[in-house]
Amino acid sequence: MKENMKGDNMKVGIIGCGKIAQVRHIPEYLENPDVEIVGYYDWNADRAAELAAQFGGKAYSTEDELLADKEMDAVSVCVANNAHAKVTIKALNAGKHVLCEKPMAVTLEECMDMVKAADENGKYLMIGQNQRFAKAHVKAKELISEGVIGDVITFKTTFGHGGPETWGIDGAKNTWFFDKSRSVMGAMADLGVHKTDLIQFLLDSRVIETTAHITTLDKKDAQGNLIGVDDNAICIYKMENGVVGTMTASWTYYGEEDNSTILYGTEGIMKIYDDPVYSIKVITRGGEKILYDIDKIQTNDNQTKSGIIDSFVEAVVNNHEPEVSGRDVLNAMKAIFASLESAKEKKTIMIQ
């Protein structure tokens, strides 16, 4: 059993006050009646101070100072990729539950150390794989389990948009996503990790083999040079249950965002977020179309409630393992790192 919270409401701190904190974590915490934001830390002290003044709570001068606050139950870790493990482990060791943004970390060893730290400290670790909470994905998983399209044979899952420079708050081509020393990985870590986790969730089966082409085709930095991380990743995944499919992540979809998944089964086809009106379309083997108008997928330009914050708060308040625990995400991260190895070695990699 984990330790109970201190006081009535869950008290949370924000470490890293950039765009993802501002458009997802902070607004969704503020909407939840069971939680109170009590602290902020960012390397840009003015940014933390502005958020504290706007939403209440205290701006801390260091992350250690924030983590030393005994009243704080949990933190959201919204820093650059390369600092996820360091900050998360420090927070867990300080006795805080942690919601860490994706990708979980930049090496498998770091990911495993994060899980170990959560276990050793009796605290919860949740990773921000929010695609599992999209209503159409939840419904699709039910329909697949019910056998609406029979047994899934193949799939293609895609996440592509015009790139993180349309998203960040530090200036277009100066975004930390393009800085290999901070991001370590590109589109694969930013978008590919979402769809890798999602396909395992939908099929209730893990990736056991990957053949990947991960490359930089078009994105340029402020000096006009190709960025040091990948802007496109195309992977062929083999699942434990025998299903084979493709996962594509791209920062070079300049026309419109694509966040679709298509599943091909023995009795029909399921298209998820492939149609602007119907979030799920099932086309049966006999040609019948079954349409589901459930919700619209989040895009960079249209942020809707993710569900990830509410799920984290509910887990901490009610003292149970989060829906997307660090341990649960390890399989997806293994597939990410194996794909990077596959692309580098130019060969298929089996995932242990």
C-alpha to C-alpha distance for 196 and 39, rounded to whole angstroms: 33
What pLDDT does residue 1 have?
36
Share of the chain above pLDDT 90, in %: 86
Largest CA distance in the chain: 64
Residue spans of the domains in the chain: they are 10-130+306-325, 131-302+333-350
What pLDDT does residue 298 have?
57
Let me know if the fold of 10-130+306-325 is the same as that of 131-302+333-350.
Answer: no
Span 163-213, pLDDT tens digits: 988 665 555 667 888 888 898 899 999 999 999 999 999 999 999 999 999
Span 108-153, pLDDT tens digits: 999 999 999 999 999 999 999 999 999 999 999 999 999 999 999 9
Answer for the pair 11, 75: CB distance below 8 angstroms, yes or no: no
For residue 134, give every residue at least 6 positions away whose Cβ sits within 8 Å of its Cβ, in sequence order, or none: 273, 295, 297, 298, 307
Alpha-carbon distances, residue 296 vs 89, 122, 136, 274, 303 (angstroms): 35, 37, 8, 10, 10
What pLDDT does residue 352 have?
83
Span 33-58, pLDDT tens digits: 999 999 999 999 999 999 999 999 99
DSSP notation for 233-248: EEEEEEETTS-EEEEE
Question: What DSSP character marks residue 258?
Answer: B
Q: Which of 232, 231, 229, 234 is nearest to 248 (CA)?
A: 234
Task: Work out the average pLDDT over 269-289.
Answer: 96
What pLDDT does residue 79 have?
95
10-130+306-325 to CATH, choices 3.40.50.720, 1.10.510.10, 3.40.50.261, 3.90.76.10: 3.40.50.720
C-alpha to C-alpha distance for 151 and 154, rounded to whole angstroms: 9
pLDDT at 302 over 80: no
Task: Work out the average pLDDT over 281-293.
Answer: 96
Answer for the pair 226, 220: CB distance below 8 angstroms, yes or no: yes
What pLDDT does residue 290 have?
96
Helix spans in the chain (H): 19-20, 26-31, 45-55, 63-67, 84-93, 108-121, 135-145, 180-183, 187, 193-203, 308-317, 326-345
Span 243-274, pLDDT tens digits: 999 999 999 999 999 999 999 999 999 999 99
Dihedral, CA of residue 279, residue 285, residue 289 and residue 291, to nearest 10:
-30
Query: What CATH number was assigned to the domain covering residues 131-302+333-350?
Result: 3.30.360.10
Helix spans in 296-351 (H): 308-317, 326-345
Tokens 């201190």 sit at which residue?
A: 6
Q: Which residues pair with 248 in a beta bridge?
A: 158, 234
The 3-state DSSP class for residue 60 equals coil
C-alpha to C-alpha distance for 209 and 10, rounded to whole angstroms: 41
Mean of pLDDT over the chain: 93
The 3-state DSSP class for residue 188 equals helix
Share of the chain above pLDDT 70, in %: 93
What pLDDT does residue 213 have?
98
Q: b or e along 142-173 (b: 16 or more beta carbons within 10 Å of the residue's beta carbon)?
A: ebbeeebbeebeebebbbbbbbbbebbeeeee
Question: What DSSP character marks residue 71?
Answer: T
